[in-house]
Chain A
Amino acid sequence: MKKVAVIGVGMTRFGELWNSSLRSLTIEAGIKALSDAGVPGERVDALYTGCMSGDMFVKQGHIASLIADYGGLLPVPSTRVESACASGGLALRQGLMAIASGFANIVVVGGVEKMTDALGSQTTGYLASAADQEWESFNGATFPSLYALMARRHMYEYGTTEEQLSLIAVKNHHNGSLNPNAHFQFEVSLERVMNSTLVADPLRLFHCSPVSDGAACVVLASEEKAKEISDDPIWIIGSGQASGAIGIYDRDDICTIDATVNAGKSAYKMAGVTPKDIDFAEVHDCFTIAEIIDIEDLGFFKKGEGGKAVEEGITSLDGELPINSSGGLKAKGHPVGATGVAQVVEVVTQLRGKAGKRQIKDAEIGLTQNIGGSGGTAVVHIFSR
């Protein structure tokens, strides 16, 4: 496989962005990434955009054409990628494969979601479309409820506590308070998290990522182009993608997301590294229980010990293995299609040593993990300076 580098990154602020549209958000992130890379539009060979559900949130389909057109990139081939909340991570993988296969030399990968144009009551239903509509959502299962089922079982089997679920939110809000692009740039106390309103027991409001608007974008280049254009290319050394049962009812073990385990194995193998070699990671904490499950499934901690890891501060910004330095989905925000790309923006920013107040010391190898639905899809990437 040909080597591929990230040579430019950009993102909008995440949040309730009333004055921005799906197209304006994507274009803003795209311009930032291309300016960062120092690449003019005419050198772009292909465009991939991750978007879960512009169709439902803003009734916009055919997003690939919209973005190429309003991005001023016509007639560049443009493809929209959808895999629920893993759409962004999957778009990155499509871009990577386009270059690795020799089809393209410079590719722009974007991710976007414009969620706040829909009514709150509709949003719950739209997000539930990532679950099995006929056999989960039909019965009244909401998205938080699927992760709540995992959380309840994880507590039962491993003694994971409500306090541990809450400490993830406290940690990620602290990191988000240091990130000028985060949806929530404020700290929360453990007491506030634990007293917040119940959404789906045992998950409370502050255990859930927010409904956000936002876009993120990266520019990828082949080795030859990266060396020509960039002073500080960040190499994609591992990529893994795996599918899992779409319904939580069909998992052998609901405390594990098999797709993450399998995608992780592929990415580690390709990169020739082990979980011990990873210095920091951005993982898919759509609910705080997910972060606990993610860091176990990625091999950072033994099954059942993810909760203890956060309690002991191992995953804090100044810990041995910082997790979600950006604030994660919890505090940075979760515009679903943008999330997988925004994770890459954070890892690249950290590896370049440009993460400001939340800079991780001596960061050499970073990992991103992006989940679709309750674990039907997972994408893992590993990056190195």
Chain B
Amino acid sequence: MGVPRFWREIPYRYRLIGSYCEKCNETFFPPREICPRCRRSGNITDVKLEEEGEIFSYTIIRTAPPEFDVQTPYAIALIKLKNGPLIMSQLTDCEIDEVDIGKKVRMVFRKISEDGDAGIINYGYKFILAE
């Protein structure tokens, strides 16, 4: 991935900034410029999302693309954020047997992947079990 592509996504990946439609009173992540419900009649603003939530669904990945190979097996979850939308994230710092639907999780800042030996290092959010 090129540096500019990653750079422009930093606010969202590092600080969990989503979008909020003032008319529909709904939050979205990743950010959107047009509300999928009311299209352009609502005003969209940036919003800081809660860093806590619970597992809505999950899977343990055993076969991964090369850049994630070293991490296998790892858990991917859909997380329902507190007062917010569903977000897809890796779960980290946990035993894969402990992962289950309904468990509480919270966001942490982690390395996501590396573009080879000399490429940039991609950072962003992951979630850990909170209980």
Which residues of B sit under 8 angstroms from A124, Cβ to Cβ?
63-65
Known: A140-B71, A152-B101. A201 touches B60 (CB 8 A): yes
Q: Are A134 and B9 in contact (CB under 8 A)?
A: yes
> In the assembly, what is the distance between CA of A198 and CA of B73, in Å?
10
Determine which of B29, B30, B61, B87 lies in contact with A140 in the assembled complex, contact meaning CB atoms within 8 Å.
Answer: B61
User: Which of A2-10, A93-101, A248-256 is near enough to bind chain B?
Assistant: A248-256
Known: A139-B76, A249-B78, A254-B78. A200 touches B90 (CB 8 A): no
Interface: A197 (CB within 8 A): yes
Interface: A103 (CB within 8 A): no
Chain B: minimal CB distance from A83 (Å) = 20
Q: Are B57 and A149 in contact (CB under 8 A)?
A: yes
Determine which of A156, A200, A245, A254 lies in contact with B61 in the assembled complex, contact meaning CB atoms within 8 Å.
Answer: A200
Interface: A18 (CB within 8 A): no
Nearest B residue to A121 via CB reads B66
Q: Are A249 and B71 in contact (CB under 8 A)?
A: no
> In the assembly, what is the distance between CA of A216 and CA of B86, in Å?
38
Known: A142-B63, A200-B63. A134 touches B122 (CB 8 A): no
> In the assembly, what is the distance between CA of A299 and CA of B108, in Å?
42
List which A135-155 residues lie within 8 A (CB) of chain B: 135-142, 144-145, 148-150, 152-153
> In the assembly, what is the distance between CA of A198 and CA of B87, in Å?
24
Known: A134-B9, A149-B58. A142 touches B65 (CB 8 A): yes
Q: Are A140 and B113 in contact (CB under 8 A)?
A: yes
> In the assembly, what is the distance between CA of A369 and CA of B59, in Å?
26
Total interface residues in chain A, CB < 8 Å: 36
Interface: A321 (CB within 8 A): no
Q: Are B62 and A200 in contact (CB under 8 A)?
A: yes
Chain B: minimal CB distance from A262 (Å) = 15
Q: Are B63 and A248 in contact (CB under 8 A)?
A: no
Q: Are A249 and B85 in contact (CB under 8 A)?
A: yes
Chain B: minimal CB distance from A328 (Å) = 21
> In the assembly, what is the distance between CA of A247 and CA of B78, in Å?
11
List which A243-293 residues lie within 8 A (CB) of chain B: 245, 247-251, 254
Q: Are B66 and A145 in contact (CB under 8 A)?
A: no
Interface: B128 (CB within 8 A): no
Known: A140-B74, A152-B101. A135 touches B30 (CB 8 A): yes
> In the assembly, what is the distance between CA of A200 and CA of B101, in Å?
16
Which residues of A sit under 8 angstroms from B112, Cβ to Cβ?
138-140
Q: Are B60 and A200 in contact (CB under 8 A)?
A: yes
Nearest B residue to A150 via CB reads B57
Which residues of B sit under 8 angstroms from A250, Cβ to Cβ?
28, 36, 85-86
Interface: B68 (CB within 8 A): yes
Q: Mind listing 19 A-B residue pairs with CB under 8 Å?
A: A128-B65, A138-B112, A140-B64, A140-B74, A140-B112, A140-B113, A142-B63, A149-B58, A149-B76, A152-B101, A153-B56, A156-B101, A198-B62, A199-B62, A200-B62, A201-B60, A247-B88, A250-B86, A254-B56
Residue numbers of B with Cβ under 8 A of A are 9, 28-30, 36, 56-66, 68-69, 71, 74, 76-78, 85-90, 101, 112-113, 122, 124
Known: A140-B71, A149-B59, A248-B88. 17 other contacts (CB 8 A): A121-B65, A121-B66, A125-B65, A136-B88, A138-B122, A139-B124, A140-B76, A140-B112, A141-B88, A142-B65, A152-B58, A152-B59, A153-B57, A200-B59, A202-B59, A249-B88, A251-B86
Residue numbers of A with Cβ under 8 A of B are 121-122, 124-125, 128, 134-142, 144-145, 148-150, 152-153, 156, 197-203, 245, 247-251, 254
